[in-house]
């Protein structure tokens, strides 16, 4: 591959794009373009020849998987190598990407060496040296090579799986077994037993999907076989259909009470027998799917609890170390490249800590389980502290902040939530303002309510205005996760308030309304 190849990096997180661009530069690829979503990538590809695409999966406006599908449907880009760079590690996502035509699949987070090895391998270039550590990536193979998955949704259609089921025929008369096996052998895998004892041994040793069980057998009759099968946890789930010449109502009831799913009288009509077997196998397979799905849901619930526990305790410490370490590095003499790397670490760690702190509460608010501790407090005094902290945090920006705090303006809410809400809103306004801009914050009482207005120069893009408070809605913000304005709305509403946004003529006003005591 010619090192002058045009490469397009598509990711809504600027720090990832910057990191990937630097790795590509180290590999000798300097002709690099960037886009923050699939739609923007399409525009680049319409104007500029692109030889390789490295794209994220989850992005606002247009996802990476949709971009890939668009490319494979366009003759100009159908053969363009596409490397999916994503946190989606589940087998279903891998299969979806493969079916869409992805060339390589890399899971975040990744090391420089693992990314380089995967990227060069996609292009058919042997890397100069192997990765120092195992690459945390999913190797892309033809769909047929994918291992069987235990995730619901990756299985074959239920009708195809039923055709591969194993049926055990139990009868002491070989001729009966031969007739039944002849009827069913084209549709199922058949096992046979000529005694109840042998049937128990087979059921304990092999996987069975259904048992056709005769009642009248010497030594151990079918009823006793059924009792023992249902008493064994290993075989209790196997559907049993009694097949017997005894068709009295007392026999049918006795069989069903023992746990059988059906009762067929001999001689059985082949068409009816096959229909009943198919119905019960479909039902049993569906029940197994539901059982597995329920186990997955329970496992996911445990995983969520583990993640929440880990988020609260384990993740914050290493993030704090990264923050403090990067701040210490920036205090010393650094080259321009080193300073850029240190600032990237500082920004990324700050973004991560903000998302850690916010995500748990957002989830509870979404589920309706968050219970705010509402109390009366001086909103003017709180806003004054917020303004001071934001001014210090944004001291490097050429943006002024104006706020005159009124006295004794009482609000009904949760002080911690309001502090987070207004800090987030004010920082957003400062970051959205052009150099030399002035951000103004004002507070106005209104009939049992308080309105906080934050005005900043700079208009919200028209395509963003309708979904300004939507989850994951971002617009070219460095490190933006799309949770900022969404969390502002949730925090206001959970306290009995509301939010609104007006933008036009080069200015934007965010209004937060909260109740008074």
Of the candidates 57, 53, 108, which has an alpha carbon nearest to the alpha carbon of residue 83? 53
Cβ(311)–Cβ(356) below 8 Å: yes
What string of H, E and C letters represents the secondary structure of 445-492? ECCCEEEEEEEEECCCCHHHHCCCCCCCCCCCCCCCCCCHHHHHHHHH
pLDDT range class, residue 479, cuts 50, 70, 90: very low
Q: Which residues contact 262 (CB under 8 A, 6 or more apart)?
A: 241, 242, 276, 280
Mean pLDDT over the full length of the chain: 82
Kindly report, residue by residue over 39-48, the tens digit of the pLDDT. 999 999 999 9
Cβ(11)–Cβ(55) below 8 Å: yes
Kindly report, residue by residue over 378-420, the tens digit of the pLDDT. 999 999 988 887 887 677 788 999 999 888 899 999 887 888 8
Residue 160: Cβ-neighbour burial (10 angstroms; 0-12, 13-18, 19+): exposed
Residue 276: Cβ-neighbour burial (10 angstroms; 0-12, 13-18, 19+): middle
Overall average pLDDT of the 93-118 stretch: 84
**Sheet order of strands, 32-35 included:** 32-35, 7-10, 52-55, 82-86, 104-107, 137-138
Q: Is pLDDT above 90 for 198?
A: yes
Domain ranges across the chain: 7-145, 159-268, 289-362, 375-515
Overall average pLDDT of the 304-321 stretch: 62
CATH number of 7-145: 3.40.50.2300
Q: What share of the chain has pLDDT > 70, as a percent? A: 84
Kindly report, residue by residue over 51-104, the tens digit of the pLDDT. 999 999 988 889 999 999 999 999 999 999 999 988 776 777 888 889 999 999
How far, in Å, CA of 381 to CA of 454, rounded?
16
pLDDT confidence of residue 190: 93
pLDDT confidence of residue 328: 78
Q: Is pLDDT above 60 for 478?
A: no
Q: In degrees to the nearest 10, what's the CA dihedral of 159, 165, 168, 169?
A: 40
Q: Would the CATH topology of 7-145 be identical to that of 159-268?
A: yes
Residue 59: Cβ-neighbour burial (10 angstroms; 0-12, 13-18, 19+): buried
Q: How far is CA 417 from its chain centroid?
A: 27
How far, in Å, CA of 390 to CA of 427, rounded?
6
CA–CA distance from 105 to each of 34, 54, 58, 482 (Å)? 19, 10, 14, 24
Overall average pLDDT of the 480-508 stretch: 86
pLDDT confidence of residue 299: 66
Residue 327: Cβ-neighbour burial (10 angstroms; 0-12, 13-18, 19+): middle
Selected from 2.40.30.10, 3.30.565.10, 3.40.50.1370, 3.50.50.60, the CATH number assigned to the domain covering 375-515 reads: 3.30.565.10
Range with the largest mean pLDDT of 115-129, 329-343, 450-464: 450-464
Provide the token pair at 216. 């009248």
159-268: what fold? Rossmann fold (3.40.50)
- DSSP-derived letter for residue 137 is E
pLDDT confidence of residue 408: 86
How far, in Å, CA of 106 to CA of 115, rounded?
7
Q: Is pLDDT above 80 for 233?
A: yes
Kindly report, residue by residue over 129-166, the tens digit of the pLDDT. 433 333 333 333 333 333 333 333 334 566 667 777 89
Helix/strand/coil for 32: strand
When comparing pLDDT for 308 and 443, which is higher?
443
pLDDT confidence of residue 264: 86
Q: Is 368 left (phi over 0), alpha (psi -120 to 50) or beta?
A: left
pLDDT range class, residue 300, cuts 50, 70, 90: low
When comparing pLDDT for 398 and 332, which is higher?
398
């Amino acid at each position: 591959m010619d090192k002058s190849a045009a490469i397009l990096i598509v990711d809504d997180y600027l720090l990832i794009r910057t990191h990937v661009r630097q790795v590509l530069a180290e590999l000798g690829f300097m002709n690099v373009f960037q886009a923050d979503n699939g739609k923007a990538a399409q525009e680049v590809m319409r104007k500029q020849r692109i030889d390789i695409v490295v794209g994220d999966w989850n992005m606002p406006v247009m996802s990476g998987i949709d971009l890939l599908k668009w490319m494979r449907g366009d003759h100009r880009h159908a053969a363009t190598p596409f490397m999916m760079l994503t946190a989606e590690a589940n087998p279903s996502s891998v299969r979806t990407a493969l079916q869409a035509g992805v060339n390589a699949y890399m899971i975040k987070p990744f090391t420089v060496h693992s990314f380089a090895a995967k990227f060069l391998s996609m292009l058919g270039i042997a890397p100069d040296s192997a990765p120092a550590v195992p690459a945390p990536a999913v190797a892309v193979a033809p769909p047929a090579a994918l291992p069987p998955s235990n995730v619901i949704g990756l299985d074959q259609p239920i009708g195809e799986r039923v055709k591969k089921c194993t049926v055990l025929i139990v009868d002491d008369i070989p001729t009966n077994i031969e007739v039944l096996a002849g009827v069913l052998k084209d549709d199922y895998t058949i096992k046979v037993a000529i005694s109840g004892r042998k049937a128990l041994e087979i059921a304990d040793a092999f996987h069975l999907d259904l048992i056709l069980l005769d009642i009248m057998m010497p030594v151990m009759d079918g009823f006793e076989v059924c009792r023992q099968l249902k008493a064994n946890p290993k075989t209790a789930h196997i559907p049993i259909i009694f097949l017997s010449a005894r068709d009295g109502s007392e026999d049918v009831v006795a069989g069903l009470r023992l746990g059988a799913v059906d009762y067929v009288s001999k001689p059985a009509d082949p068409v009816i027998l096959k229909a009943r077997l198919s119905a019960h196998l479909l039902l049993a397979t569906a029940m197994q799917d539901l059982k597995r799905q329920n186990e997955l849901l329970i496992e996911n619930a445990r995983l969520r609890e583990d993640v929440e526990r880990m988020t609260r305790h384990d993740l914050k410490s290493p993030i704090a170390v990264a923050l403090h370490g990067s701040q210490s590095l920036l205090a010393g003499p650094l080259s321009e490249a080193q300073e850029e790397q240190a600032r990237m670490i500082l920004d990324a760690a700050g973004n991560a800590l903000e998302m850690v702190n916010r995500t748990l509460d957002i989830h509870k608010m979404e589920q309706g389980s968050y219970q705010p501790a509402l109390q009366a407090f001086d909103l003017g005094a709180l806003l004054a502290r917020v303004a001071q902290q934001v001014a210090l945090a944004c001291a490097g920006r050429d943006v002024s902040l104006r706020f005159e705090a009124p006295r004794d303006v009482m609000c009904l809410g949760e002080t911690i939530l309001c502090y987070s809400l207004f800090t987030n809103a004010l920082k957003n306004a400062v970051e959205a303002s052009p150099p030399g801009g002035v951000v103004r914050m004002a507070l106005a009482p209104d009939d049992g309510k308080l309105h906080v207005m934050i005005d900043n120069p700079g208009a919200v893009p028209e395509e963003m205005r309708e979904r300004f408070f939507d989850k994951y809605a971002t617009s070219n913000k460095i490190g933006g996760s799309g949770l900022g304005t969404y969390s502002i709305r949730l925090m206001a509403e959970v306290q009995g308030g509301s939010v609104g946004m007006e933008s036009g003529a080069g200015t934007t006003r965010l209004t937060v309304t909260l109740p008074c005591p």
